[in-house]
């Protein structure tokens, strides 16, 4: 006997779409599908929606710096308020293709998961996002020294001013170093891509810390400064006034007796090796395809690209967001909307006329 179906029922005229992943990409697509009259099963592995964006802090100083983190709340709201979207957090989906349909079993991810929910889907939307590169694979002291952390771990601390200071005994750290491109643009490990978010995220975080604690000195070690936002020249000029920006790649980190972390690097100008000690080292660990993506993609019949990211489209399977390649939040939203409309077109729900600029695709018939 089949387990009970607990999601709202769907019919041939109102098909169901299975959305895997409840980050910005999955939330955006789920809202588009529901507005178009479809039923949606949104399956999120972790216990809460939002994906990585839910861990980001607001970087406003005396003004908004357009980091995009607050785009999450309206996306969550649109999903929470929609009766056509059945949200399954803390859950995983087992999917079996049956002709041009998908039989899905949605099961709680915890050991004593209970009875699975079954649903039949006309299409699958893959929005399972990215993993953060584990910097323990580099000799940068991560996992060895407590004051070597990732940018995502810094975000956790920056979400509250007290949380940040608590990590340093109530006083702001005197000297912080940010190391860019950790696990990105690195041919040694086959990560040839730029992760796109991390230069801007670093500079905004560094300026936020300086705004709160002007006595803290911040150095950013970089290869190139990429994708730094809407007005790059003005923003970079502000950063150069406020931060020390050094084009160099420190290769190793060593703990010092007084609890600091010593970095050394080659200085192009003087042709000498330099070194300096910092109270906190923040590693801009980039994005990589999640380890379980090959298995998920194979189950869905979706190809991967040569670098291991998901292809855009398979048979009734559509992928969007950072599961396809590194993307910022704004890019993820745009990518997810485009892919959602392609899925609606494949189901005959809309007609899409592509203009020369894909972002300006004219969409007709969306209810
Ligand atoms: C430190 C850091 C700082 C950043 N700062 C910025 C910034 O300032 N501005 C900006 O624009 N972008 C920033 N980004 C990038 C931003 O986080 C991404 O653009 C965005 O999160 C991509 O959304 P996504 O939905 O594609 O992926 P994710 O956020 O990774 O969401 C994917 C979701 O899918 C779930 N999932 C995974 N596998 C499964 C499965 N098998 N079944 C069900 N669910 C699954 C995950 O739990 C997750 O909730 C930052 C990223 C990091 C790491
Ligand atoms: S875009 Fe970023 S900096 Fe601006 S208000 Fe939103 S969260 Fe804050
Ligand atoms: S955005 Fe900057 S730090 Fe991130 S991979 Fe690209 S160049 Fe490196």
Q: What b-and-e string marks burial along 292-303, b requiring 16 or more CB atoms within 10 Å of the CB?
A: ebeebbebbebe
- Say how far residue 114 (Cα) sits from the centre of its chain: 30
> For 14-36, what is each residue's pLDDT tens digit?
899 999 999 999 999 999 999 99
Same domain, 321 and 205: no
Ligand 2 atom closest to the Cα of residue 59 is: 3
Contacts of 343 by beta carbon, 8 Å cutoff, 6+ apart: 17, 29, 33, 123, 125, 316, 318
Q: Would you say residue 10 lies in a domain?
A: no
Q: Whose CA is nearest to atom 25 of ligand 1?
A: 23
Q: Which two tokens stand for residue 163?
A: 């949380």
CB 38 within 8 A of CB 144: no
Same domain, 252 and 111: no
Domain membership of residue 39 as a residue range: 16-130+289-364
Tell which of 261, 287, 313 closes a domain: 287
How many structural domains are present in the chain?
2
Q: Where are the alpha helices (DSSP H) in 277-328?
A: 293-300
Query: Within a 10 A sphere around the Cβ of 354, how many other Cβ atoms?
Result: 11
Q: Would you say residue 299 lies in a domain?
A: yes
> For 135-174, what is each residue's pLDDT tens digit?
999 999 999 999 999 999 999 989 887 777 777 777 888 9
Ligand 2 centre from 158 Cα, in Å? 13
Same domain, 352 and 342: yes
**What is the CATH classification number for the domain harbouring 243?**
3.50.50.60
> For 71-120, what is each residue's pLDDT tens digit?
999 999 999 989 999 999 999 999 998 888 999 999 988 867 688 999 89
Same domain, 216 and 319: no
Q: What is the pLDDT of residue 364?
A: 41
Q: Would you say residue 8 lies in a domain?
A: no
Model confidence, pTM: 0.92
Query: Within a 10 A sphere around the Cβ of 313, how many other Cβ atoms?
Result: 17
Same domain, 39 and 117: yes
Q: What is the pLDDT of residue 11?
A: 52
Strands 117-121 and 101-108: what pairing? Answer: antiparallel
Ligand 2 atom closest to the Cα of residue 71 is: 6
Q: Where are the alpha helices (DSSP H) in 194-231?
A: 198-212
């Amino acid at each position: 006997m089949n387990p009970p179906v607990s999601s709202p029922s769907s019919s041939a005229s109102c098909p169901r779409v299975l959305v895997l992943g409840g980050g910005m990409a999955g939330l955006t697509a789920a809202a588009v599908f529901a507005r178009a009259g479809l039923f949606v099963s949104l399956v999120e592995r972790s216990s809460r929606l939002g994906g990585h964006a839910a861990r980001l802090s607001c970087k406003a100083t005396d003004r908004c710096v357009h980091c995009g983190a607050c785009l999450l709340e309206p996306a969550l709201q649109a999903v929470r308020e929609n009766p056509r979207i059945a949200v399954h957090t803390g859950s995983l989906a087992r999917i079996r293709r049956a002709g041009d349909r998908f039989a899905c079993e949605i099961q709680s991810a915890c050991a004593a998961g209970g009875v699975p929910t079954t649903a039949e889907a006309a299409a699958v939307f893959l929005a399972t996002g990215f993993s953060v590169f584990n910097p323990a694979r580099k000799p940068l002291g991560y996992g060895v020294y407590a004051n070597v952390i990732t940018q995502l771990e810094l975000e956790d601390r920056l979400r509250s001013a007290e949380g940040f200071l608590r990590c340093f005994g109530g006083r702001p750290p005197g000297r912080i170093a940010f190391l860019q491109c950790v696990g990105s643009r690195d041919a040694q490990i086959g990560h040839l891509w730029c992760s796109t978010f991390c230069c801007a995220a670093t500079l905004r975080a560094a300026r936020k810390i300086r705004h709160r604690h002007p006595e803290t000195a911040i150095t950013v070690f970089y290869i190139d400064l990429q994708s730094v936002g809407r007005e790059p020249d003005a923003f970079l000029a502000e950063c150069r006034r406020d931060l020390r920006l050094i084009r160099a790649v420190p290769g190793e980190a060593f703990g010092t007796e007084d609890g600091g972390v010593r970095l050394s690097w080659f200085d192009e100008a003087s042709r000498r090796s330099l070194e300096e000690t910092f109270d906190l080292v923040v590693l801009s660990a980039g994005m990589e395809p999640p380890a379980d993506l090959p298995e998920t993609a194979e189950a869905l019949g979706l190809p991967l690209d040569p670098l291991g990211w998901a292809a855009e489209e398979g048979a009734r399977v559509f992928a969007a967001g950072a599961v396809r390649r590194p993307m910022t939040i704004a890019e993820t939203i745009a990518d997810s909307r485009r892919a959602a409309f392609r899925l609606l077109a494949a189901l005959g729900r809309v007609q899409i006329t592509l203009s020369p600029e894909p972002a300006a695709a004219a969409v007709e018939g969306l209810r």
